[in-house]
């Protein structure tokens, strides 16, 4: 398993932090050259430097995933530096919390642009390169994109759009040798959640009890599934929506 990405090239968006960073680290450890793409230019540089420091090969690219120019540019940079593309993790995302009736159009549009339109653009601009030798796209959706979640309508709508787009893309790209899957994390301890307190504090909070394991997940636990789906071990898996959420939802559980 440890060298299963030897000779492969991967592009990970939202890789400066959280789930994307964890995926970049595992792919790099297992032999892939990794493009670390993120809106946070310094963060992308930092993570790429970590990978190189650990003996890997990496490229940092500052990009806004919601723009077509950013998607064209990142693919050009990957091809210039590494000459091929095998694995794509479309992972960058933003969360907006608030009632539907109070959500303004600009917020709605931004969440849809970053979480959904960016996935369309990412698939459109990477699939032709993956098709050259065959490849795999994994998209980070969410529990909110399978079951919904209270008080985050733009996020829920964008992530449901992502799961639909993954199924549609997989059916068109399958004959070209490109697999497309979605992962749906439950509550994961990343920057989004770290503001809520330490891991122990978060695990003692009601959000942890929404999972059957009674804890939140860690970024590497999502990244392991992403890397399995990206690998040849998952060669007959496509168009599927995979939960990685500690078992959700728990219905009818008595209060602590
Ligand atoms: P995170 O905030 O740690 O990482 C998100 C990364 O995306 C950041 O580095 C950020 O700079 C980058 N980003 C944001 N907007 C961007 C843009 N327009 N262009 C390029 N990069 C951009 O959060 P995370 O939890 O690692 O989130 C990764 C994905 O996981 C997101 O799609 C999120 O919706 C999803 N997710 C997270 C959780 C959770 O509980 N943390 C649960 C379900 C799904």
The reply to whether 253 falls in a domain is no
Provide the domain limits for residue 165. Answer: 9-244
Give the ipTM of the model, two decimals please: 0.99
pTM over 0.90: yes
DSSP state letters, the chain? -TTTTTT-EEEEETTTSHHHHHHHHHHHHTT-EEEEEES-HHHHHHHHHHHHHTT-EEEEEE--TTSHHHHHHHHHHHHHHHS---EEEE-------B-GGG--HHHHHHHHIIIIIHHHHHHHHHHHHHHHH-EEEEEE--GGGTT--TTBHHHHHHHHHHHHHHHHHHHHHGGGTEEEEEEEE-SEESHHHHTT--HHHHHTSTTGGGSTTSS-EEHHHHHHHHHHHHSGGGTT--S-EEEESSS----SPPP-
The reply to whether 256 falls in a domain is no
Where in the sequence numbering do the catalytic residues fall?
A: 155
What are the pocket residues of ligand 1 if the criterion is a CB atom closer than 6 Å to any ligand atom? 13-14, 16-20, 38-40, 43, 63-66, 91-94, 114, 140, 142-143, 185, 187-188, 190-193
Mutate to test the pocket of ligand 1, among 120, 149, 190 (most ligand atoms within 8 A of CB): 190
The reply to whether 2 falls in a domain is no
The reply to whether 105 falls in a domain is yes
For the chain, the domain total comes to 1
> Residue-wise pLDDT tens for the chain (256 aa)?
556 999 999 999 999 999 999 999 999 999 999 999 999 999 999 999 999 999 999 999 999 999 999 999 999 999 999 999 999 999 999 999 999 999 999 999 999 999 999 999 999 999 999 999 999 999 999 999 999 899 999 999 999 999 999 999 999 999 999 999 999 999 999 997 777 678 888 898 888 989 999 999 999 999 999 999 999 999 999 999 999 999 988 888 887 7
The reply to whether 69 falls in a domain is yes
Mutate to test the pocket of ligand 1, among 11, 18, 241 (most ligand atoms within 8 A of CB): 18
For ligand 1, the distance from its centroid to the CA atom of residue 93, given in whole angstroms, is 4
Domain CATH number, residue 88: 3.40.50.720
pLDDT at res. 69: 98
The reply to whether 254 falls in a domain is no
């Amino acid at each position: 398993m440890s060298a299963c990405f030897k000779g492969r090239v991967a592009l990970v968006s939202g890789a400066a932090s959280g789930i994307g960073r964890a995926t970049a680290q595992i792919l790099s450890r297992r032999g892939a050259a990794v493009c670390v793409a993120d809106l946070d230019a310094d963060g992308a540089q930092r993570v790429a430097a970590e990978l190189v420091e650990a003996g890997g090969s990496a490229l940092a690219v500052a990009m806004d995933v919601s723009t077509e120019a950013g998607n064209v540019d990142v693919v050009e940079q990957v091809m210039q530096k590494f000459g091929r593309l095998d694995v794509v993790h479309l992972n960058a995302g933003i969360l907006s919390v608030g009632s539907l009736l109070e959500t303004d159009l600009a917020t709605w549009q931004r969440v849809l642009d970053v979480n959904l339109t960016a996935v369309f653009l990412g698939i459109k601009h990477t699939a032709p390169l993956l098709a050259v030798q065959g490849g795999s796209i994994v998209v980070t959706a969410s529990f909110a994109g399978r079951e919904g979640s209270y008080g985050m309508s733009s996020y829920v709508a964008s992530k449901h759009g992502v799961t639909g787009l993954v199924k549609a893309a997989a059916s068109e790209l399958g004959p070209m040798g490109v697999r497309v899957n979605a992962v749906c994390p439950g509550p994961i301890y990343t920057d989004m959640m770290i503001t809520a307190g330490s891991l122990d504090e978060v695990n003692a909070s009601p959000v942890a009890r929404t999972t059957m394991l009674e804890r939140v997940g860690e970024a590497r636990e999502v990244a392991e599934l992403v890397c399995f789906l990206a690998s040849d071990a998952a060669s007959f898996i496509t168009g599927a929506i995979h939960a990685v959420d500690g078992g959700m939802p728990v219905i009818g559980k008595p209060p602590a």
